[in-house]
Amino acid sequence: MTLSRSIPAVLKLPVNPLINKVAHESMERTLNSMRTRLTRSSIKNADITSARSDRSQLN
């Protein structure tokens, strides 16, 4: 994550930790959300594959 403008030198030292923390938390939320969606998608695809396999065994 980046800012659109640089931080003025006078504010950089006191503000930098806050910016880094917010960036870290934002990235963590994004990655956790992506993991959840991919996991759900994988489970859904596995259920579909299993259902197809069950149907083909009946024929």
Per-domain residue ranges of the chain = 14-47
What are the CA-CA distances from residue 58 to residues 31, 44, 45, 48, 49 (Å)? 41, 22, 20, 16, 15
Better-scored residue on pLDDT, 3 or 35: 35
In this prediction, residue 5 has a pLDDT band, given cuts at 50, 70 and 90, of: confident
In this prediction, residue 32 has a pLDDT band, given cuts at 50, 70 and 90, of: very high
Tens digit of each residue's pLDDT (9 = 90 or more) over 20-31: 898 889 999 999
Q: Read off the tokens for 20.
A: 């880094």
Give the range with max mean pLDDT: 32-36, 43-47, 53-57: 32-36
Query: CB-based contacts of 9: which residues, under 8 Å, 6+ apart?
Result: none
